[in-house]
Structure 1
Amino acid sequence: MLNSSISDSAGIARRKTPLNRSQIAGFWGAWAGWTLDGMDSFIYALVLTPALTELLPRSGYAATPANVGLAGSILFALFLVGWGLSFIWGPLADRFGRTRVLAGTIFTFAIFTGLSATAHNVWELGIYRFIAGVGIGGEWALAGTYVAEAWPEDRRKMGAGYLQTGYYAGFFLAAALNYTVGVHFGWRAMFLTGAVPVFVAIMILTRVKESEKWQRAEARDVVHVKPMRAIFAPTYRRRTWVMCALLTIAIIGLWAGAVYEPSAVIQLATRAGMAKPEATKMASMATGLLSIGTILGCLALPPLAERIGRKKTLAIYFGGMAVAIVGAFGWAFYLPNGLAPFIAWLFVLGFFGGNFALFSLWLPELFETRVRATAFAFCTSFGRFVGAGVNFLLGAAVLSMHTLGVPVALTAIAFVLGLLVIPFAKETKGEVLPQ
């Protein structure tokens, strides 16, 4: 009898709180937004060469490999600056609610990604990508905030891991579209597919309820706080800057590897004797493998963070990223027959690139509801500003050194510096989400 009671109690303890219809719809809306967000982000990397080869001559520049590389880096830097400006969505979400502002971010990046298909020169493409970046960056922060607040406490940590997989499923989707649509219909058709998220935004507006945590916080605050000022007050100042530093490191390293991965694979495939169409397809398949690795890394991260803590988990993932970047771009890229080893390293790079799932889990635990969206948006945006500058320098280094591998491999230094910053972060293992 006693054993039966113990067994029943253990079963109750293990049983997760069921999700209601709004929580399920909200998650899938946020996940779909992140998927299309990731797809949009990576479309540019996949169509970089054909788009600029066509648009540079129309803009008065020769479409040489050097000019394509430099212009690509500048346009991507503009995209990251747009991401950086996405911190404007955070205070709006803290003031007016998560769901309406989340839908607004999706409308923004969908419309301007679609408009990229109409670009007549590199300047128009740069403007469209800049504004799309503003929307994409906001969607990431607000979707993470919404799921953290809307899901029950015993589910939200895995929810962060599940949510992050959407972004990299978007990479896989972009690779699949490039393998089919891009190869046959060109880069403009690829950008047109980025307009699809408009329907996700409509679903969020019509079917998803506002998070109860935000509603309670809104009801308590008779005088609204200024969230940007609050996250730099003594209570939160250190947390804000430490998270800014860690996210900056994650963005520098992951984006350097992910953005230049298709170009590296195409170069290696061409060197191995493949024709251009086959090399492009190989880049798409390599991107798919990178995405699968990252999805697995995202799913493995929350249980590990619950077991050993957030700080130790991030240290493992940062260390893995440093090794993988050097292994792929510093070693395999220069082998006489480096295509297969490079692609194998991409899977490892993808797995440890799942470190972003930790920030979706960890950041909401560091800030109370009335400033959570602002803190999430600001910390992620700060890293993108720095990442934009680093990406520009990286493009200049590629142009100057006449090689892709070494400049990208050097970004591993950022993760070594990250290991020195992690001890200054606040550990939140076992703590509930602040009200």
Structure 2
Amino acid sequence: MMNTLTDRTPVTRRRTPLNRSQIVGFWGAWAGWTLDGMDSFIYALVLTPALTELLPRSGFAATPANVGLAGSILFALFLVGWGLSFIWGPLADRFGRTKVLAGTIFTFAIFTGLAATSTNVWELGIYRFIAGVGIGGEWALAGTYVAEAWPEDRRKMGAGYLQTGYYAGFFLAAALNYTIGVHYGWRAMFLTGAVPVVVAILILLRVKEPEKWQKAEANAVRTRPLREILGPTYRRRTWVACILLTIAIIGLWAGAVYEPSAVIQLATRAGLAKGDSIRMASLATGLLSIGTILGCLALPPIAERIGRKKTLAIYFAGMAVSILGSFGWAFYLPNGLAPFIAWLFVLGFFGGNFALFSLWLPEQFETRVRATAFAFCTSFGRFVGAGVNFLLGAAVLHMHTLGVPVALTALAFVIGLFVIPFAPETKGEVLPQ
């Protein structure tokens, strides 16, 4: 029997090349998601200085307890705005992904910039609420766009690449706080959040609608997408996705949002000056962001190898352990600053679980309802997250400590491990049309 050279040559699979519109569209969505993450985290970084200035102007003493309570209320209000962002989903299913994506970016950019003009906590609360509505819609529409616009053999990694943007935004916010925030104050930080307006304009001018949406729109019989995802066909997967996203969001806001305050407390306890403590919080945030970016990039190959459900279980278990290790253990050590920051990297890595939802949610719904489903599931989690965040603030005030209340959120991820089996496994399936 003859063995030819062809017999011995391994077959290499070439990935489908991306066209110009797909490349520009991805970078537009990624930049929007990056600036979205930056905007979200700006408030966490400037929380204490902003409220210290605005509370006395609003008739309240700027005590640590009042700053903590007001901060939790404003976080909750911001999350309610995130929750109301489900309005963008039906609009995107009806009018297109790119136009509505640009609208979400424009909304959060304008009202983040306006937050710099706040003269009291009420104005700051209104601006953050409306900015939250815009920020909340960006993820659903960016994730939907990349899933539909990229070729089938690339869209899974596209989800991981896209999700890195949000945490690159954390890193960018930390860098801005390390430079602009320290020297020019919290108002200058909010002004930097107005930059995404440029991205919104570019998306409107340069990015085409995905062909999948165009075909679905051309053949569509008008339905009510919200009613459909809550109907018999999709009801179970919709509510399971809502629960899992709720758990992920609780972990994000418990770990990432309270991290700067925890680092500042630990740095102050270690004898660092105020300015040095703020810089330390910025550096810790950068480390957290690097860990999360790596977690996002590692997730798609794992999900392709062992499946979506097992991958999420690994990441949820990692979140539970790292939240307990950082806020439940390291935070209370006599010299806990270094161990706490080390745990933040682990917390960041498993915080990359959000990349799975960018990959997994589009696989569970057809094109005509995909954006609505994505927006509804994320919005539901934000509403519940707003309530949990308010309870966390009350617990911090009552217990006079930050660590234990945040550490208790690890229980949510344990519950999530029992919910994951009820979700559909879509490994190896193509995106439904």
Name 1:80's counterpart in structure 2. 79
1:164 equivalent in alignment to 2:163: yes
Q: Deviations over 1:141-174 (max 9, x none)?
A: 0000000000000000000000000000000000
What amino acid does structure 2 have at the position aligned with 1:233?
Answer: G
Name 1:245's counterpart in structure 2. 243
Deviation at residue 255 of structure 1 after TM alignment: 1.1
Deviation at residue 4 of structure 1 after TM alignment: 4.0
Q: Distance in 1 between matches of 2:33 and 2:415?
A: 28
In 2 relative to 1, CA 369–279 (structure 1 residues): closer, same or farther, beyond 3 Å? same
Equivalences, count: 432
Q: Distance in 2 between matches of 1:47 and 1:373?
A: 32
Name 1:399's counterpart in structure 2. 397
Q: Distance in 2 between matches of 1:359 and 1:9?
A: 34
Among 349, 353, 362, which residue is 2:351 paired with?
Answer: 353
Aligned residue runs from structure 1 range 36-435, under 5 A: 36-221=35-220, 223-435=221-433
In 2 relative to 1, CA 71–216 (structure 1 residues): closer, same or farther, beyond 3 Å? same
What amino acid does structure 2 have at the position aligned with 1:104?
Answer: G
Q: What SS is found at the alignment partner of 2:11?
A: helix
Question: Given the two structures, how large is their TM-score scaled by the length of structure 2?
Answer: 0.99
Deviation at residue 354 of structure 1 after TM alignment: 0.1
What amino acid does structure 2 have at the position aligned with 1:430?
Answer: G
Q: Distance in 2 between matches of 1:68 and 1:259?
A: 15
Q: Distance in 2 between matches of 1:21 and 1:288?
A: 32
What amino acid does structure 2 have at the position aligned with 1:158?
Answer: M
Q: What SS is found at the alignment partner of 1:10?
A: coil
In 2 relative to 1, CA 69–10 (structure 1 residues): closer, same or farther, beyond 3 Å? same
Segments of structure 2 that go 5 or more residues without pairing to the other structure are none
Q: Deviations over 1:4-27 (max 9, x none)?
A: 43566721xx21000000000000
Q: Distance in 2 between matches of 1:3 and 1:288?
A: 54
In 2 relative to 1, CA 2–203 (structure 1 residues): closer, same or farther, beyond 3 Å? farther
Deviation at residue 224 of structure 1 after TM alignment: 1.1
1:10 equivalent in alignment to 2:11: yes
In 2 relative to 1, CA 155–129 (structure 1 residues): closer, same or farther, beyond 3 Å? same
What amino acid does structure 1 have at the position aligned with 2:389?
Answer: N
Q: Deviations over 1:16-70 (max 9, x none)?
A: 0000000000000000000000000000000000000000000000000000000
What amino acid does structure 1 have at the position aligned with 2:218?
Answer: A
In 2 relative to 1, CA 100–275 (structure 1 residues): closer, same or farther, beyond 3 Å? same
In 2 relative to 1, CA 23–308 (structure 1 residues): closer, same or farther, beyond 3 Å? same
Q: Distance in 2 between matches of 1:386 and 1:156?
A: 30
Deviation at residue 382 of structure 1 after TM alignment: 0.2
Question: Given the two structures, how large is their TM-score scaled by the length of structure 1?
Answer: 0.98
Q: Distance in 1 between matches of 2:265 and 2:375?
A: 36
Segments of structure 1 that go 5 or more residues without pairing to the other structure are none
Q: Distance in 2 between matches of 1:215 and 1:347?
A: 42
Q: Distance in 1 between matches of 2:340 and 2:200?
A: 38
Q: Distance in 2 between matches of 1:272 and 1:257?
A: 21
